[in-house]
Amino acid sequence: MKISATSKDLTAGLLFLAAGAFILYSAVQFRIGTPRVMGPGFFPAMLGGLLIVLALITILRSFGRRDEGGTAVRMRPVLFILGAAASFGLLIKPAGLLIAVFGTVVIASFASNDLRLRDAVIVGVILAGLSALVFVELLGQRLPLLGTVFG
């Protein structure tokens, strides 16, 4: 998939527009109040309105720009890095630090093109050991080494 400068501006503008509309809509639900005694919605409403204006400018300008050719977009790093981080959150309580670190490292290693699974496993084991040593033993972080499933 390729993405060009024009479509970048257009996409950004549309995203800002959606966000601005959502912010403005929510702000109205919060109660706006008066300028003298501002309600909880007053400031967000201002921001939402401003964002909509900026979004419209971005969208309009995207049509006037010359297209400078596209850049390739790669989804693999996004998916695996975010997935690895999320798995840490999922594993830390039930499985504990050692397994969470190991799992995160192995999943994350799929993000790189030059994946070597054997290396990933080795790095995972080393990092699990190191983080237990440094963060739990030396720095005294209160993280369970083994989680609740191990009783």
Contacts (CB under 8 A) with other proteins, residues 12-31: 12, 15-16, 19, 23, 26, 30-31
**Using CB under 8 A, which of 4, 6, 11, 125 touches other proteins?**
11
Q: Examine residue 90 and tell whether it contacts other proteins (CB under 8 A).
A: yes
**Using CB under 8 A, which of 18, 25, 28, 40 touches other proteins?**
40
Number of chain positions touching other proteins (CB under 8 A): 72
Q: Which of 72, 103, 69, 99 is nearest to 86 (CA)?
A: 103
What secondary structure letter does DSSP report for 72? Answer: E
Residues 46-85 that bind other proteins (CB under 8 A): 47-48, 50-51, 54-55, 57-58, 61, 72-74, 76-78, 81-82, 84-85
Residues 6 or more apart whose CB falls under 8 angstroms from that of 121 comprise: 106
Q: Examine residue 34 and tell whether it contacts other proteins (CB under 8 A).
A: yes
Residues 131-150 that bind other proteins (CB under 8 A): 131, 135, 139, 141-143
Q: Hey, what long-range contacts does 45-51 have (CB within 8 A, 24 or more apart)?
A: 47/23, 48/20, 48/21, 48/22, 48/23, 48/24, 49/20, 49/24, 50/20, 51/16, 51/17, 51/19, 51/20, 51/23
Residues 106-135 that bind other proteins (CB under 8 A): 108-109, 111-116, 119-120, 123-124, 127, 131, 135
